């Protein structure tokens, strides 16, 4: 009888998803893809999530390595802190960012003195996305590094390789599947980011309005366009998730 439970899930997930695809005509699709609202949102999303990913990768990789390989008292505190954005309500994350980096915040005040105003800018979008999406990459990368047999890294060292060479020739290729799947998950999360962005970066078309924010706006002004963007996000998310599963199943190396 266990298939009955599956039917319930299908009812709950598949039907709403399919109704998105049934909610617009072919003409709507063409019009939607051509509308400036959708195009600008696409651009903002692509640029901001791209920058966020670059940030997450360059800063997350060493952090994940450090967490995987070091052992000190209080490490669990840092570990938990880095995971926190994953469970925090996005609105809370946005509020926190706004408080810290807003004009009257401790960091924001100092930054605005040197002429840098973060809130309601593309930088704010990037910060919100990085804040929320980084844990997905760091977690995955950390467990990938931890899964590499310590003996392999030690063996490479006795074979005359410096720690840096050991990383690129042994640790990195062996943890690549985890890195890639963490990266994809993280990117998908950044792309879907809504709450924190709305609070911290606002919803300004062409500047801070990402795809998910545009869906929200268009719901009232241009319903078919909202549905076209929703469909786009659904497709991307599905492909991304499936790619991660395939990667995990096969193992890249």
Partner 1 sequence: MLEVQVKKKFRSFTLDLELSAGNELICLLGPSGAGKTTLLHMVAGLMEPDEGLIRVNNKSYFQKPAGARRGRQLPPYRRRVGYVFQNYALFPHLTVNQNILFGAKGSMDETRQEASYLVNLLRLRGLEQRKVTELSSGQQQRVALARALITRPDILLLDEPFSNLDELIRRKLRLDLLRVHRDFRIPIMMVTHDLEEASTLGEMVAVMDSGRILQVGTREEVFYCPRSRRVARFVGMKNIFDGRVAEVKPEENLLKVAGDKFNVCLPYHPCRVGDRIVFGIRPENISLVRNGAELGKRGENNVLKGRLVEMIPEGPGYRLFLKTTADTYDLEILIPSRIALKHQLTVGKELSVTLRKTALHLLRED
The site for partner 1 (CB under 8 A) is made up of 149, 151-152, 154-163, 165, 169-170, 173-174, 253
In the complex with partner 1, the residue whose CB is nearer, 25 or 154, is 154
Distance of CA 54 to the CA centre of its chain: 11
Q: In angstroms, what is the minimal distance from the CB of 174 to partner 1?
A: 6
Q: In angstroms, what is the minimal distance from the CB of 165 to partner 1?
A: 8
In the complex with partner 1, the residue whose CB is nearer, 4 or 164, is 164
Rounded to whole angstroms, how far apart are CA atoms 177 and 189?
18
Distance of CA 252 to the CA centre of its chain: 22
In the complex with partner 1, the residue whose CB is nearer, 36 or 160, is 160
Q: In angstroms, what is the minimal distance from the CB of 127 to partner 1?
A: 36
Q: In angstroms, what is the minimal distance from the CB of 150 to partner 1?
A: 9
In the complex with partner 1, the residue whose CB is nearer, 63 or 157, is 157
Q: In angstroms, what is the minimal distance from the CB of 61 to partner 1?
A: 19
Task: Show contacts of 209-212: CB within 8 Å, 24+ apart.
Answer: 209/40, 209/41, 209/44, 210/41, 210/44, 210/45, 210/48, 210/49, 210/125, 211/41, 211/42, 211/44, 211/45, 212/45
**Which residues, 6 or more positions from 26, have their beta carbon under 8 angstroms from its beta carbon?**
none
Q: In angstroms, what is the minimal distance from the CB of 159 to partner 1?
A: 3
Whether the Cβ atoms of residue 155 and residue 226 lie closer than 8 Å to each other: no
Pair of tokens at residue 89: 């309500």
Task: Show contacts of 101-110: CB within 8 Å, 24+ apart.
Answer: 101/127, 101/200
In the complex with partner 1, the residue whose CB is nearer, 19 or 154, is 154
In the complex with partner 1, the residue whose CB is nearer, 54 or 152, is 152
């Amino acid at each position: 009888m266990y298939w009955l439970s599956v039917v319930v899930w299908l009812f709950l997930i598949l039907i709403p998803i399919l109704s998105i695809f049934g909610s617009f005509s072919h003409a709507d699709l063409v019009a939607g893809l051509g509308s400036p609202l959708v195009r600008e949102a696409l651009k903002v999303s692509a640029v901001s999530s791209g920058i966020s990913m670059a940030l997450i990768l360059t800063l997350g990789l060493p952090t994940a390595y450090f967490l995987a390989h070091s052992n000190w008292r209080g490490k669990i505190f840092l570990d938990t802190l880095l995971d926190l954005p994953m469970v925090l309500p996005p609105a809370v994350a946005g509020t926190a960012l706004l408080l810290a980096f807003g004009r009257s915040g401790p960091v924001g005040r100092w930054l605005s003195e040197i002429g840098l105003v973060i809130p309601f800018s593309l930088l704010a979008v990037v910060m919100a996305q990085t804040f929320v999406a980084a844990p997905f990459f760091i977690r995955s990368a950390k467990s990938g590094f931890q899964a590499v047999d310590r003996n392999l890294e030690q063996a490479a060292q006795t074979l005359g390789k410096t720690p840096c060479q050991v990383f690129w020739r042994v640790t990195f290729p062996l943890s690549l599947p985890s890195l890639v799947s963490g990266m994809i998950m993280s990117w998908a999360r950044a792309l879907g980011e809504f709450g924190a962005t709305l609070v911290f970066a606002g919803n300004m078309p062409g500047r801070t309005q990402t795809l998910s924010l545009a869906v929200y706006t268009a719901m009232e002004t241009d319903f078919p366009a909202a549905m076209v963007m929703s469909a786009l996000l659904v497709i991307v998310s599905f492909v991304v998730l499936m790619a991660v599963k395939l990667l995990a199943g096969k193992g890249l190396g």
